[in-house]
Amino acid sequence: MTGERAALNPAGGDNPLLTVSVVIYRPDMSVLTATLQSLSNALKLLDTSRCKVFVIQNCDTDGIPKLLAANLNEVPFDLRQGHGNVGFGRAHNLVLHETGTFHLVLNPDIEMAEEALTHGLKFLEEHTDCGLITPHACWPDGTRQYLCKRYPALFDLLLRGFAPAFLKNLFSDRLARYEMSKETDEDVVWDPPIVSGCFMLFRGGLYRQLGGFDRRFFLYFEDFDLALRAGKVTRTAYVPAVRIVHEGGHAARKGLTHIKLFAKSALLFYKLHGFKLF
């Protein structure tokens, strides 16, 4: 469908067809630029007058307004700043009640295929029982990245996030099962228990019904929690036609502060949803 606008108009009036929220904190400007450019290209296949991008700035980095104006020049956008670093989920929730018919939670380190949003909205139109879509993802080097997960045992989290390569290789079958790597290939997969928060395409009404992210999570596991809550009231789908490249992840490589945040959020997650050791 390159060069064609998607014929999507599920709600009339002034309600946006699609809203997008992007939370930034001390971003790599070149990575953020690539994200905004790919987002702009994808939105141009829709009716951009019925789309809106919210950028929530959790830092005091200079140059963000200029960057947005240069890369979202054909797309309505709204920059929210001055609130400080309130955390990932709480920042997304700042625009919860302004979300459209569909809403995309997007990381600032994602490059999406030009037709990603067209394919995603078409799937949601055709499958009215689906409320949340997760995409096919790759690392920047082209290797697959698996965004779907089974319910995590503590052993899985430690193995995947912190174990050396030889230990991961020893438990490769277990990791593959946890990451649903055999299931999530080129076919649609229904109802993965957990999906990544780097790209979550919701029906807006469902997103608002769920209350967005649980504000008790500052960083990490807020997406696991939201995906599990969504799965209780709707169907989630892995849709391989929706394709992205994701640069992020690797909490263990970001230093002690991130490791502490990871551990704190993991404890909260297990308190809310039930502990599983192995």
Residue 251: pLDDT band (50, 70, 90) is low
DSSP 8-state secondary structure symbol assigned to residue 221: S
Q: Is residue 138 part of a domain?
A: yes
The percentage of residues in the chain with a pLDDT greater than 90, rounded to a whole number, is 90
Spatial distance between the Cα atoms of 1 and 3, rounded to a whole number of angstroms:
6
Q: Is residue 156 part of a domain?
A: no
Spatial CA neighbour of 83 closest among 107, 54, 53: 54
Spatial distance between the Cα atoms of 98 and 90, rounded to a whole number of angstroms:
14
Please report the pLDDT score of residue 255 as a whole number: 80
Contact status, residue 189 vs residue 183, Cβ threshold 8 Å: yes
Spatial CA neighbour of 243 closest among 181, 195, 186, 203: 186
Q: Is residue 207 part of a domain?
A: yes
Q: Is residue 165 part of a domain?
A: no
- The partner residues of 145 in beta bridges, in order of sequence, read 137
Please report the pLDDT score of residue 86 as a whole number: 98
When comparing pLDDT for 136 and 13, which is higher?
136
Spatial distance between the Cα atoms of 39 and 46, rounded to a whole number of angstroms:
11
Distances, alpha carbon 236 to alpha carbons 221, 230, 239, 253, in Å: 17, 8, 10, 30
Residue 15: pLDDT band (50, 70, 90) is confident
What CATH number corresponds to the domain at position 96?
3.90.550.10
Q: Is residue 174 part of a domain?
A: no
pLDDT in tens, 44-95: 999 999 999 999 999 999 999 999 999 998 999 999 999 999 999 999 999 9
pLDDT in tens, 80-137: 999 999 999 999 999 999 999 999 999 999 999 999 999 999 999 999 999 999 999 9
End-to-end, the C-alpha distance of the chain in Å comes to: 46
Supply the range of the domain harboring residue 232: 18-151+184-273
Number of domains in the chain: 1
The encoded tokens of residue 252 equal 């263990």
| Backbone angles phi and psi of 5, in degrees to 5 | -85, 140
Q: Is residue 170 part of a domain?
A: no
Spatial distance between the Cα atoms of 208 and 114, rounded to a whole number of angstroms:
27
pLDDT in tens, 23-49: 999 999 999 999 999 999 999 999 999
Q: Is residue 168 part of a domain?
A: no
SS3 track for 20-82: EEEEECCCCHHHHHHHHHHHHHHHCCCCHHHEEEEEEECCCCCCHHHHHHHHCCCCCEEEECC
Residue 248: pLDDT band (50, 70, 90) is confident
Q: Is residue 216 part of a domain?
A: yes
